[in-house]
Amino acid sequence: MFEFCTDPDQLETFRWFSCYLTTGKHMNLYWSVLTVLTLLAITAPTALLFGFGGAAAARSRIAPLRWIGQTYIAVVRGIPDIAFFLFFVIALDQGIEYLRHQALCPDWDQPIRQGNDFIVCQAAKMPLGSAPQWVHETYGFAIAVVTFAIVFGAFAANVLYGAMRAVPRAQIETAEAYGMTPRQTFRRVLVPQMWVYALPGLGNLWMVLMKATPLLFLLGVEDLVYWARELGGSKTPRFTDYPHGDWRMWYFLALLVFYLVFTRISEIVIERATARVTLGQATTGGEAMRKAA
């Protein structure tokens, strides 16, 4: 990156590290930080949307809708994350290719399932083999977002379902006595008050989501852990211009510091959000805030 990096063997310590930390692979490491942050920024609201839908369905008065919501919460929460990631990604990818195959290749006369192989026409591949690299990376990232959202959406649905049940029944009955419809009661009374009870659980779920980002490697996305392991391993002069010993401990230490700092920032945000939603609420937390004021 710098002009003086042409001959690493002649560099002093500071310049050597300046060149070493700006190589192409290190740029990929820095880019993976943005990838993780982008994943969290997109997945968190998407998972919350899944969770809100699942919780609303689980408490619905319509039996089939209630069964769907309760099944979603129970099944996804009951499957280990790694197992779900390995299964769902393959199933989703093959499902998309199967639908594309049926639409784009109606004249195909061979079975799609041939032993252990899943074979579709070239036009149905997702993404196409001729597609540029960024399309492949974007597709893998989108699959990761959907998978994370479904998994953590089930946990969020369980938290929100419990929070909805924690709202005092007297609040609901009062709204009904004023002539509010069930939809108005849900939107104006239940939802605003449930956040007081839901936020602690959602905060914990956010922390778990942050720690689960290394699972990205299962989806073919090169994340922080991948590059820390790749760059920290021993390198000899035969394979690189910047040889070094086993530095994995230092790379993983930097990774540890990154997650700890991000966790602390998250805790501050969650504390402020809790104070905001608790203020003025007729709950134990709200009473504590009023007494403190």
Span 19-63, pLDDT tens digits: 777 777 778 888 888 888 888 899 999 999 999 999 989 888 888
User: How far is 166 from 163, CA to CA, in rounded Å?
Assistant: 5
pLDDT > 80? residue 15: no
| All structural domains of the chain | 3-292 (1.10.3720.10)
**Across the strands, what pairs with 118?**
113
Looking up tokens 């899944």 gives 50
**3-class state of residue 117 by DSSP:** strand
Q: Please give the average per-residue pLDDT across 195-211, as a whole number.
A: 88
More confident residue, 254 or 240: 254
What one-character-per-residue DSSP string does 80-109 give? Answer: -HHHHHHHHHHHHHHHHHHHHHHHH-TT--
Mean of pLDDT over the chain = 81
Looking up tokens 């029944």 gives 169
Closest CA to 197 of 167, 157, 156: 167
Residue 9 confidence (pLDDT): 63
**How confident is residue 122, by pLDDT bands cut at 50, 70 and 90?**
confident
Q: Which amino acid is at 235?
A: K
Q: CB-based contacts of 246: which residues, under 8 Å, 6+ apart?
A: 232, 233, 234
C-alpha distances out from residue 96 to 89, 102, 112, 216, Å:
11, 10, 13, 20
Q: Please give the average per-residue pLDDT across 161-178, as a whole number.
A: 85
